Amino acid sequence: MTPEQVDFLFDWEEGKTVYTQLTGEATVSGELVQLPAGPLGIALGVTARSDKINDTPGEITLAGNAWGSSSGGITAGKSVTTEAFGELSVPLLADRPFFQDLTLSLAGRLTNVKATRASDGVNDSDNGNFTYKVGLNWAMTDWLRFRGSYGTSFRAPALFEQFLANETSFPSQRIDPCINYTGGVTAGATSQRVADNCAADGIPGDYSGGGVSATAFSQGGLGNLKAETSKAKTFGVVLTPKLGFLSNTNISLAVDYFDIRVNGEISRLGSSTILSGCYNSLDFASEPLCDLFTRGQNATAIYQINEIFDQFVNIASQRNEGIDASAIISHDAGKLGRFSLRAEMTWQLTDDFQLLPTSGLTSDNGEAGSPKWVGDFRATWAHPSGFSLFYGINVIGGTSNLQDLLNNNGGDPCLNSFNRDNNPVLPIYGRYCPDVTTPTTFYHNISTTQEIADGRFIITAGVSNLFNTRPPRVSVLNGGEIDLLGPVVAASQYPFVGRRAFINVTAKF
């Protein structure tokens, strides 16, 4: 290209996003009255907060002149939040047999939110949201304690989720699940359910796709979005035994069960999720996702995806259930220093997700990005001179998406090496049996710390990911297809940074 063509076609731009927050809070706390088992503690407060956003894209994006890329408008608006809250700590029993301490805690919060869009002054209010928490702490003895709580939570839509101005993007036509679905079923790349739904939509079995892209619109959900809400319950036991023959050793063991349910989570589904969710639906005729896109770009392309509407919406529900366990052992060896071992582990029992009220329940427990078990183990030696040595191991349990592959591929763990156009994906014809599992992965970290001048200066040096552990490859399935091969940031929690050394210096003045 000539320099003149380059100057005309290419340029740089810069957008700017400004968040402004003004907040104020007043609280009062103390002991209200003296009860037989101890003082009644109370805390009261009010808070007010104003949040504003002004997100201005660059001139090219604002004018829609970036070919094949996103365009967008100015996202601007504000929300005003007012809250009143109170807490009580009620001692019920103390210094009695089997009731060394029994304390009830109560908390409540009333939240009002008003959001206003800057461009037209349209507003939406979410008032009167009351959340609360009830907790009970029961110390039977000085070494055995039980604890439990039940509470609710509330999150109003964020500014960006409310006010996002229309953005356009151009997803490829190749995300259409109905492209050559007859050949896809034959080659094992398309499920029979998808094929049946595509046929019900009037799309020929040999539809080749055609075209380059569709147009996707993303926007905020002001007026349609509701607040996210959740309910959480926990129950646990804490052991702090005293071992007479190890008077300088402290031991603490804790096990807690948790069950968290989130309703109305705010999310954008994405173009591919909208299309695959529509044609994978068990109730295709009334599937709401099928209303979020249109076909027929023009008279000669009546089957091509035309427009996809991907605004922020409230999805149905999500549940996470599991068990947390921790153990701490420390020993004071006098002049030799203090040795401590700490272990923290989580067993995930449930990780369920329901996209829409009409959608089926999906479980990700034990799959890529959602291992059933994770652990954190730490060993520390602290010398009276101010020198300490730390060694830690972070463990991410293994995962498997094999059941998803079997469910979406007729029980076959292998895929034929053809794409939807019946062209070979691999250099030779054959079958591909993907590894959709990840092994248990260990990350080792070590550091030393030296305090100088009675702790006024602290120097820490160490190495993270000591053995330069690489993240495992992750294969993520979408409707029976392998659409991501790892390492994949969005589909796993593995760090992507290898071995690295660091030095931290802290000074107190």
What are the residue boundaries of the structural domains of the chain, listed by start? 1-135
- Residues 137-196: pLDDT tens digits? 999 999 999 999 999 998 989 998 999 887 888 888 888 999 888 876 666 667 788 889
- Residues 229-287: pLDDT tens digits? 999 999 999 999 987 667 789 999 999 999 999 998 888 888 988 998 889 888 888 88
Per-residue pLDDT band at 109 (split at 50, 70, 90): very high
- DSSP β-bridge partners for residue 339: 331, 381
Residue 331 is predicted with a pLDDT of 92
- DSSP-derived letter for residue 166 is P
Tell me the percentage of the chain whose pLDDT exceeds 90. Answer: 51
Residue 320 is predicted with a pLDDT of 96
Per-residue pLDDT band at 66 (split at 50, 70, 90): confident
Q: First vs last Cα of the chain: how many Å apart?
A: 61
State how far the alpha carbon of 121 is from the alpha carbons of 114, 164, 394, in Å. 12, 14, 50
59 backbone dihedrals φ, ψ, rounded to 5°: -60, -35
Q: Where are the beta strands (DSSP E) in 60-170?
A: 71-72, 75-96, 99-117, 123-139, 144-155, 167-169
Residue 149 is predicted with a pLDDT of 97
- Residues 375-404: pLDDT tens digits? 999 999 999 999 999 999 999 999 998 888
Both structure tokens of 176: 């259409």
Neighbours of 96 (CB within 10 A): 10
Helices 192-200 and 271-279, packing angle to 10 deg: 90
Residue 243 is predicted with a pLDDT of 77
Residue 147 is predicted with a pLDDT of 97
Residue 183 is predicted with a pLDDT of 77
By C-alpha distance, which of 149, 144, 116, 114 is closest to 129? 114
Residue 99 is predicted with a pLDDT of 95
Query: Cα(372)–Cα(364) distance, rounded to whole angstroms?
Result: 10
Query: For 308-314, what is the mean pLDDT?
Result: 89
Contact, 88 vs 98, CB < 8 A? no
Residue written as tokens 């895929």?
Answer: 415
- Residues 319-334: pLDDT tens digits? 999 999 999 999 999 8
DSSP run (H or E) holding 326: strand 317-332
Residue written as tokens 């020993």?
Answer: 331
- Residues 409-462: pLDDT tens digits? 778 888 665 544 445 444 444 567 778 888 999 999 999 999 998 889 999 999
Query: Cα(448)–Cα(459) distance, rounded to whole angstroms?
Result: 8
